Amino acid sequence: MATEFKLPELGENISSGTVTKIMVAVGDTVSVDQAVVEIETEKAVIEIPSSVAGAVKEIRAKVGKSINVGDVVFVVEGGSKAAAPTKPAPEPPQARSPEKPEAAPPAAPAAPVQSAVSGGTALASPSVRRLAHELGVDADKVQGSGSGGRVSAEDVRAFAAREQAVAPVEATHREEPPLAPADRDRWGAIERQPMSAIRRKTALHMSNAWQTIPHVTQFDSADITSIEAFRKQYGPRAEARGGRLTVTILLLKVLAAALRKFPRFNASVDMENQEVILKKYINIGVAVDTENGLLVPVVRDVDKKGILDLCVETPHLAEKARTRKLTLDEMSGGTFTITNLGGIGGTGFTPIINAPEVAILGVSRSRVEPVFANGSFAPRTMLPLSLSYDHRVIDGAEAARFLRWVVEALEQPFVLLLEDTEASK
């Protein structure tokens, strides 16, 4: 008797993914809960366990191809099926639903637009028509490959490439064969690189945040000379625990205290109901630069954890991000984000808010500067900070006070002890 293994639910609002690895072959014996296929969604790479057991008779999924929830991955012979498939941890609702590459960004897809011209009619979404306009293509002349003749973004790009290929060439002699249409645009040679699922998700997420959130960025700098001395003194303790004592770790603790003092920075906004939602928990996302794009694992309950615990947990999450082992749950539920570019360089930048959060702290590279204090100049290690905030929820004066508090806490760590004392009363 043949039994089909179908792709189970991957998480809320996730209906498909890309197959990155198939871990079984025809003839293999599969057991229930055995990892059998790896799927890349918009936020993470997930290993999917089998809900069936038996000998693999046929594999229908293909590496590099998209697969939908409910599609058959493989078929086993003479096997059994588990009572219920194991599901990955669900993803909390996002500000928008994941979209396919050609879908209209980033909120709910707009209804298709049908228009009639002398050359015929075309069924195309506004985003596809916008792309056609940018490429100098008449969308109504493009033959759609989708259902009912719908014109996709790829149809437009292919049409543009063909048009460019047959355009008049000024040169009368060409010693080398021309490039294929897909390798040229009007101005010269090009290379097309498909977006990964993570890159597509990042693009949609950032576009939506930039378009819907009124961003303002507040800049300041902190004298971290004492903090650096503290790091050098107590770094070995963190290393003995298998962790690292970094500026980011210390900022996590400072930010946790700041978010308790300024709760509107630990919030989200519900414009439909005209409410600000204050979070009673403090989960801080730490942006990680990976080969696959920007990922933001979330450190939960930062205010309840000690510095040495954070020294171990945070680098562990960062390494999982780099090796594509993060779960959806480990990237969900953040209330504030920190992004540190100090290891790369720069004197400042304007980070984009990680919606539905209302603020994000950017950190640039520290440097030793001459600072005038007590009648003379002295070398001090200064750390540039950039706070972007949602002006619908936070006013400028409040943002300035928040960032100044963070600066003073870094310069005078005793402030944190006072805050902890007040919070415990």
Q: Domains of the chain: which residue ranges?
A: 2-81, 113-193, 214-424
The pLDDT tens digits for 132-189 are 776 777 888 888 887 777 888 778 777 876 665 554 443 444 444 555 556 778 888 9
CB-CB contact of 327 with 295 (8 Å): no
Answer yes or no: is pLDDT of 366 > 90.
Answer: yes
**Paired tokens of 304:** 């309840």
| Residue 259: CB atoms within 10 Å | 23
Residue with tokens 């100098």: 136
- pLDDT (average), residues 254-268: 97
pLDDT digits (tens, 9 = 90+) for 68-88: 999 999 999 876 666 544 444
Does residue 323 register a pLDDT over 60?
A: yes
Mean pLDDT of 10-33: 86
Under CATH, which architecture does the 113-193 domain have?
Answer: Irregular (4.10)
Q: For residue 271, give every residue at least 6 positions away whose Cβ sits within 8 Å of its Cβ, in sequence order, or none.
A: 392
Rounded Cα distance between 44 and 61, Å, is: 19
Which residues belong to the active site? 391
**Residues near 371 by beta carbon (within 8 Å), at least 6 away in sequence:** 223, 377, 378, 379, 380, 382
Least confident of 120-124, 201-205, 262-266: 120-124
What DSSP character marks residue 308? H
The Cα-based distances of 410 to 246, 249, 265 in angstroms read 13, 12, 18
C-beta separation of 156 from 137 below 8 A: yes
Q: At what angle do helices 247-261 and 396-411 cross, to 10 degrees?
A: 130
Task: Give 2-81's CATH code, choosing from 2.40.50.100, 3.60.9.10, 1.10.150.530, 3.20.20.70.
Answer: 2.40.50.100
- Cβ-Cβ contacts under 8 Å for 184 (sequence gap 6 or more): 161, 164, 165, 178, 190
Query: Is residue 295 very low, low, confident or very high in pLDDT (cuts 50, 70, 90)?
Result: very high
Average pLDDT over residues 391-410: 97
**Coil, strand or helix at 226:** helix
Q: At 179, is the secondary structure helix, strand, or coil?
A: coil
Q: CA separation (Å) from 208 to 12, 94, 262, 331?
A: 19, 11, 26, 18
User: Is residue 23 within 8 Å of 36, Cβ to Cβ?
Assistant: yes
Mean pLDDT of 274-279: 96
* Residue 118 pLDDT grade (very low, low, confident, very high; cuts 50, 70, 90): very low
CA distances from 190 to 169, 180, 184, 215, 293 (A): 17, 10, 5, 34, 22
Topology of domain 214-424, per CATH? Chloramphenicol Acetyltransferase (3.30.559)
**pLDDT at site 94:** 39
What pLDDT is attached to residue 181?
55
What is the pairing mode between strands 72-81 and 52-59? Answer: antiparallel
SS3 404: helix
Phi-psi region of 371 (alpha: psi -120 to 50; beta: other; left: phi over 0): beta
Helix pair angle (225-240, 247-261), 10° resolution: 110
Residues ≥6 apart with Cβ < 8 Å to 177:
none
Equal CATH topology for 113-193 and 214-424: no
Q: Which residue has the higher pLDDT, 183 or 261?
A: 261
**Average pLDDT of the chain to the nearest whole number:** 82
- Average pLDDT estimate for 393-413: 95
* Side-chain half-sphere exposure of 217, counting CA atoms within 13 A: 15
The mean pLDDT value for 192-221 works out to 88
Share of the chain above pLDDT 70, in %: 80
Residues 59 and 22 sit within 8 Å (Cβ to Cβ): yes
Query: Which burial class, exposed, middle or buried, applies to 134 when counting CB atoms under 10 A from its CB (0-12, 13-18, 19+)?
Result: exposed
Q: What is the value of pTM for the model shown?
A: 0.64
Q: Higher-confidence residue: 321 or 156?
A: 321
